[in-house]
């Protein structure tokens, strides 16, 4: 059985980051992330235009956590507590012990290894605590940075899923990448 138990919220600490629950105090920082067209480019959502819309995202995160549908962590810098992005595990399949991983970071923080560090933290949590066997993601082929993040964590490219995702009105192929518990390096 999967251990889908997110109360109390599973706080995760890495070298430079704190992965924690997102709350209404994070609206301004999260607006910086979710309003940026560069961040939204390969994702389902359109850039948000108002802070009220960010509050809607935060309420949705809370509902999804309460229903064990998806867990979204805020990625905060240890040095100043600023929230610089989000990462999540969701689409849980309890029989196959599988989940999908997602992540997004403020553009100002790209290229510093933060996504790799955060995703490594939640992947470890997924295998060690939730007891997943497989974590996967499908990524738009042009999203090189995202593919690279998962490659650095030893996810394998398993193929192309054709016309998998409707992104901003267009059906896009997805590169499917997966990591098995037996392949995960806990160190």
Binding site for ligand COA (CB under 6 A): 39, 42-43, 103-105, 110-116, 137, 139, 143-146, 148-149
* Smaller CB separation from ligand COA, 132 or 174: 174
Q: Between residues 89 and 139, which has the closer beta carbon with respect to ligand COA?
A: 139
Q: Is the distance from CB of 75 to CB of 83 less than 8 angstroms? A: yes
Comparing CB distances to ligand COA, the nearer of 5 and 91 is: 91
Instruction: Select 104 or 130, whichever has its Cβ closest to ligand COA.
Output: 104
Minimum distance, C-beta of residue 164 to ligand COA, in the bound complex (Å): 12
Q: Coil, strand, or helix at residue 142?
A: coil
Token readout for 98 is: 């599988």
Shortest Å, Cβ 25 to ligand COA: 22
Q: Which is nearer to ligand COA, 38 or 66 (CB)?
A: 38
Both tokens assigned to 89: 């595990």
φ/ψ of 130, rounded to 5, equals -75, -25
Indicate the Cα dihedral angle 36, 105, 46, 11, nearest 10°: -130
Q: CB of 45: closest distance to ligand COA in angstroms?
A: 10
- Cα separations (Å) of 9 from 23, 141, 184? 12, 33, 23
For the chain, the first-to-last Cα distance in angstroms comes to 25
Minimum CB distance to ligand COA, residue 115 (Å): 3
- State the minimum distance, in angstroms, from the CB of residue 123 to ligand COA: 13
């Amino acid at each position: 059985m999967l251990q889908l138990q997110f109360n109390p919220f599973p706080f995760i600490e890495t070298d430079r980051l704190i992965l924690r629950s997102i709350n209404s105090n994070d609206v301004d920082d999260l607006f910086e992330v979710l309003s940026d067209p560069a961040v939204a480019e390969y994702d389902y959502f359109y850039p948000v235009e108002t802070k009220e819309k960010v509050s809607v995202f935060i309420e949705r995160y809370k509902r999804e956590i309460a229903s064990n549908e998806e867990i979204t962590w805020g990625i905060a810098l240890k040095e100043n507590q600023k929230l610089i992005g989000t990462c999540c595990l969701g689409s849980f399949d309890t029989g196959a012990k599988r989940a999908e991983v997602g992540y997004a970071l403020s553009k100002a923080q790209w290229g510093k290894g933060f996504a790799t560090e955060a995703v490594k933290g939640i992947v470890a949590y997924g295998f060690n605590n939730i007891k997943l066997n497989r974590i996967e993601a499908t990524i738009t082929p042009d999203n090189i940075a995202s593919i690279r993040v998962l490659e650095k964590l030893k996810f394998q490219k398993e193929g192309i899923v054709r016309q998998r995702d409707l992104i901003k009105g267009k059906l896009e192929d997805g590169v499917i990448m997966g990591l098995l518990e037996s392949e995960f390096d806990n160190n």
